[in-house]
Amino acid sequence: MDTGAGSSLLNTVLGQEHAKRVIRRVLAEEKPANAYLFCGYEGLGKRVTARAFGAALLCSNRSQNGDPCGTCQSCIWMANGVHPDFKWVEPAKESTGVKIEQIRKVIRDTAVASYAGGWRIIVVDNADRMTESASNAILKILEEPPDRLVFILIASSVDGVLPTVLSRCQLLPFRPVDPVIIENYLVKQGFERDLAGRAALLSEGNPSIALEMVSDNAIEEGYSIVKGFFIRILEGSADPFTLADEMQGWEDRSSSHFKQMDLLLLYCRDLLVELIGGERGLMLLNESSSATTVRHLRPETLYMLLKELGSTQSLLNEKASKRLLYQVIAFRLKECLTRGA
């Protein structure tokens, strides 16, 4: 959990202009709703925004644009993670979700007056993973909310939130970030623009994933691994069973967001771009001449291979046996590449 409470905390969140505007308007009017639901994929800034909102609402000397001062007692408490009027609830380790005992405890805490004489804020992280009894406990207090109490629920999807709880929350969706914004952010962090641009495109609008990619060298590593698979298949130097074991082994060891299927699809796409004479700037994994190692392939072969890989990817998403599916993938790679070479 983020513990900062500096004046620019909200500004560190990339994109999410709608959520920021709503929050700044609420702070200017000092009329927050009883409950908010911050909803969106992991890595889009929901938790930092929740903390920034809380820090600003509790600050006794915030600026005209809603930033906390960073120096008052409330801001100092927030920076140290010990503000008595700011509670953060999340699933305990090894737990499947937020339990009713956790919700009951923070509700009991709100039964007494605010320590600082102002707002009280309860953040429920992973609210889409609350037990039904925990959701009902929150619903009960939302039906008759105490004065100056604000709930901020954080969820990846509205699907796991009890509909009656959802109906009492103001929804603030967190959407994928413009790749240009992510690219510029990564460049400011010291990464080369070319690498930053590719990571931004591959991250599907997720700044956290983009930063992971450039930090772990995942793009170049993934390119090298998949290129090696293709070459070995064409040379006949590895049988499909061996390749399948290596594919699963690399994925099990890797902390990268990339999965082998993602890499295979991206590599095939890049080969196709080059084989049909597309600009190298359109290639996502690497601008170097990928097609020189598989120059005998025809575009039709790659179309067929992309189709085969796409159908197999849907099975992987359904959590079928990875080992068996990677064997199928390896055999299909070999069949398509050797037939089309």
In the chain, domain spans: 10-175, 216-340
pLDDT for the residue numbered 7: 44
User: Which tokens is 18 given?
Assistant: 């709608």
Query: Tokens 């509205």 label which residue?
Result: 158
* Distance between CA atoms of residues 331 and 118, nearest Å: 65
Task: Classify 94 as helix, strand or coil.
Answer: coil
pLDDT for the residue numbered 3: 41
pLDDT for the residue numbered 5: 47
Buried-state track 263-297, b at ≥16 Cβ within 10 A, e below 16: bbbbbbbbbbbbbeeeeeeebbbbeeebbeebeeb
Buried-state track 191-214, b at ≥16 Cβ within 10 A, e below 16: beeebbbbbbebbebbbbbbbbbb
Q: What is the pLDDT of residues 97-110, one digit of tens each?
A: 788 888 888 878 77
Tell me the pTM.
0.74
Class of domain 10-175: alpha beta
Low pLDDT (below 70) residues in the chain: 1-8, 94, 113, 218-219, 222, 234-238, 248, 250-262, 275-297, 310-322, 336-341
CATH for 216-340, among 1.20.272, 3.30.70, 1.20.120, 2.60.120?
Answer: 1.20.272
The three-state DSSP-derived secondary structure of 247-286 is HHHHHHHCCCCCCHHHHHHHHHHHHHHHHCCCCHHHCCCC
